[in-house]
Structure 1
């Protein structure tokens, strides 16, 4: 399962880096791609859209709609409740890394960390 998540993550990171120009922000790229509509919804719920549009650069290990579909629907619905906004924000920020990280960086980090990515 962890390998599947990593493969999806690398794929999404490559897709985002290929689609994003210097002027575009992460949220703009996600909004423009229907495969990230659930991500946009949870970023909005967690009040992270503004942060991602103002600060940065960030690398987002962005789950697609297909990845979100594998989460139990009751668990996801619970995370989207107002009372769980902080928990949701914590989960989402776990998928953010400050700075620009390329696919090459991810592969090198995985080698350095024996399968657990290490950056820096």
Structure 2
């Protein structure tokens, strides 16, 4: 059992792994966002959105744009919290992974706030 008062933040390998994981999840969410916007701009419904305020005005693109990136960020945050528990059980630097999970969940909430305003 670890002493929770003494949180070990100095573990370069754990920090590097958590940073790679976090950046990878964020990059994947942004890649899906960009792919969806490109699909809406140049896809099958490209002409239907000429007078719309946002390029994704059709249902399939809008649904993917609003649901998939936040779901990916949520899954990434849950995965980081699972890794937090695993590292805690081993007696490692678990607060680093907990921070990664909170960062991903914060990005998810921020993205959902923007997506809901676009979804209207």
- TM-score by length of structure 2 reads 0.30
More helix by proportion, 1 or 2?
2
More strand by proportion, 1 or 2?
1
Which is bigger in relative contact order (C-alpha 8 A, separation at least 6)?
2
Greater Rg, structure 1 or structure 2? Answer: 2
- TM-score by length of structure 1 reads 0.30
